[in-house]
Amino acid sequence: MKKGKLSLQAIIIIFVCIVVALSLGITDLLISKSITSSVEETQKEKALNVARTMAVSPLVIRSLEGKENQADVQTFANQINDKTNVNFVVVMDMSGIRLSHPESNKVGKHFLGGDEGPVLKGKEYVSISKGTLGKSMRAFTPIKDSEDKQIGAVAVGISLKSVTEAVDKGRMGIVLGTLIGLLIGIIGAVVLARYIKKTLLGLEPSVIAKLLEERSSMLQSVREGIIAIDQEGKITLVNKAASKLFKRAGLEEEPLGMNIEDYLPETRLTRIIKSGETEVDQEQNLQGVTILVNRVPVVVGNQAVGAIATFRDKTEVQHLAEQLTGVRNYADALRAQAHEFMNKLHVILGLVRTEQYDTLADYVNETVNHRETEMSFVTKKVQDPVLAGFLIGKLSFARESGVSFSFDCANMLPKPANSEITHELITIIGNLLDNAIEAIANSINKKVHLKLDYAEDILTIEVKDTGMGMTHSLQNKILDKGFSTKGNNRGFGLYLLAQAIERLEGELIISSKPGKGTSFAAYVSYQEEEEEN
C-alpha cells in the first residue's frame, strides 16, 4: 500500500460511519419535528379541554349570571389550575374583566395580552401571547348560558417553557437512540471491515488489482491455450492462445459465460470437478484439430470450485518431438558409430603392426561394403528420410549394445501422406525395438529382427526377439499404463505404443511363451503421399 493511502479497513469504517451518521441524523431531524408537532398539539388539546371544562361548569355560569358569589370562581379556578398543572385559568366577563387569576390581586382587572377579542365574539381558538405570567400558549373558549347566549369566556394558559421542556424531554430519547445506533454502526463497520479483509486474505484493493493485471498478462502471454470453468460449468477464462485455437477449429462464438458442455461437449472438465482427479496429456479432437490436454480441478478448502484445462495443438508437439527424436537418433548413431569405429581402428592397428596387409585390405573392403550395403538398403526401402534415419540409428545402437539386429522390408515403403503418421510409426517401432533389446539383455543368444511389409495401405510391423518370453497373464497387462516388471516410474512405452496403434486404426498381436522369445505384430493404416502431376 502506498504511503498516505487509506487502507480498505479504514475506508469501510469511515464510509459506514458517515452513512449511519447521516441516516440517523436525518431520522432524528424528522422524528424530532414530528415529536415537537405532537407535543405542541397535545398541550394545545390539554389547554382546550381545561377551558371547555371550565366553560360548562354550573358554578362559573351562575357566577357570571350573578346567581352565585364570584369569589367562588377564583377558588374553583385555582383548584383546576393545581389539578391540571396549567399556567393559569382565567374566567372573564363580556367586558374582559377577570373573575379569576392565579394572582388574586389581579382579579377584577382587565385581561392582558390583546388576543381575547375573538373569544368575546363567540369564537374558540388557541393563540400565543405574552401576559402578566409571561409568554404562553392560550386556549380561549366562550361561556354560554342555558339559552345559548354568551355571558363570558375562559382563557387557559400553558407556559411555552413547559412546552419546550416537554419537547426536549421527548427528543432526549431520540438523541440517546441515535448515539446508540451510531455506536452499533461503528462496531458493525469494524467487524465488516475485518471480515472483508480476511476474505481478501489481508490484501488491499490496489494489491488485488495489480495481482489481477499480472495474472491476466501472464495467462494471455503463454503459448498454451487455457480455459477455466466455475462450479456450475460456466466458462470464466479463455486466453488468447485458446481463442486462436478455437477459431482455427471453426468455433467463432465468444465462449465467456457459456456452459462448457454447450461450447466443448468433449472437454470432460465437468467430470474433473466431480471426480477431483487430474488428467495429463490426454488427446482430444476439436472439430478436426487434435489437441493435447491437461485437466486439473481447482480446489479451495478441500472442495472443487472449478476446473482448468491447458492444451496445445498436437501438430506443434509432434513437430517438436520429431526434431528432438531426430537429434537424439543422430546423437545415438554418432555415438554408436564412434564406438564401432574405435573397435575397427583397433583391428586395423593390430593388422598393420603384424604386417598382415592382405587381410587388412580384405577387412577394410568388407567393412565399407557392409556399411554402404546396410545404409543403402534402409534408404532404398524406406522413402521417408526421418523414418530411415531413425532405423539407421537403431541399427547402430543395437550393434553397440551387442545385439544382432536384422532388418527386412519386402516392399518399398513410400513417404506417408502426412508427418503425423511418421511420428506414430517412430513411437510404435521405437518402443517395440527398445522393449526387445531390453528383453534380451540377459540372454545368451541376443537377436532382434524387424520386418516391415507394406501393401494396400496397410503396414505390417513385426518385431521378434530371443528373450525370456512372457506368460499369458503378463501379456494381458503389459499394455496398461504404468505397468512394468522393471521397477518404478516405468511402464509407459507400450502404453504409448497401444495409443499410437489405436490412432492409426490398427491392431496389435502378441505371441510369446516363457523361454521361447516374443513376437509383436502391429497392423496399421498407412496412406502414402500422393504424387504431383
Q: Report, in angstroms and rounded to the nearest whole number, the Rg of the chain calculated over CA atoms.
A: 54
Q: Is pLDDT at 214 greater than 70 in this prediction?
A: yes
* 317 pLDDT above the threshold of 60: no
Rounded Cα distance between 283 and 314, Å, is 8
pLDDT of residue 489: 43
| Start-to-end Cα distance in the chain | 71
14-23, 52-61, 215-224, 235-244: which is most confident: 52-61
Class of domain 225-313: alpha beta
Percent of the chain with pLDDT over 90: 3
Written as nine digits, the cell of 438 is 531390453
Mean pLDDT confidence for 94-100: 88
Does residue 408 carry a pLDDT above 80? yes
pLDDT score at 171:
67
Find the range with the poorest average confidence among 179-183, 194-198, 345-349, 529-533: 529-533
Domain spanning 11-166: CATH superfamily: PAS domain (3.30.450.20)
CA dist list (Å): 138 to 41, 45, 150, 160, 304: 13, 11, 19, 10, 78
Residue span(s) of the chain under CATH 3.30.565.10 come to 356-525
Residue 455 scores a pLDDT above 80: yes
pLDDT, greater one: 488 or 391: 391
Q: How far apart are CA 400 and CA 340, in angstroms?
A: 7
Q: What is the pLDDT of residue 533?
A: 46
pLDDT for the residue 142 = 93
CATH pick for 356-525 out of 3.30.590.20, 3.30.70.330, 1.10.260.40, 3.30.565.10:
3.30.565.10
pLDDT of 132-170, one tens digit each? Answer: 666 778 899 999 988 889 899 999 988 777 667 766 776
Considering only residues 512 and 130, tell me which one the structure prediction assigns the higher pLDDT.
512
Cα angle value 295/296/298 (rounded, 5°): 140
Residues of the chain with CATH 3.30.450.20: 11-166, 225-313
- Strand order of the β-sheet with 88-93 is 88-93, 150-159, 134-144, 125-131
Share of the chain above pLDDT 70, in %: 81
Strand arrangement of the beta sheet that strand 225-230 belongs to: 235-238, 225-230, 303-313, 289-300, 279-286
* pLDDT tens digits, 419-444: 788 888 888 888 888 888 888 888 88
pTM listed for this prediction: 0.40
pLDDT of residue 248 exceeding 50, the answer is yes
Q: In the structure, what pLDDT confidence band is assigned to residue 462 with cuts at 50, 70 and 90?
A: very high
Give every CB contact of residue 106 below 8 A, 6+ residues apart in sequence: 98, 132
Average pLDDT of the chain is 78
What's the pLDDT band for 1 if we cut at 50, 70, 90? very low
Q: Give 7's DSSP letter.
A: P
Flag whether pLDDT at 330 surpasses 60: no
Q: Which helix (H) or strand (E) holds 144?
A: strand 134-144
State the pLDDT at residue 523.
92
Give the residue with greater pLDDT, 287 vs 308: 308
List, in order, residues 6 or more apart from 533 with CB less than 8 Å away.
none
* Contact by Cβ (8 Å): 54, 80: yes
Instruction: Report pLDDT for 162.
Output: 66
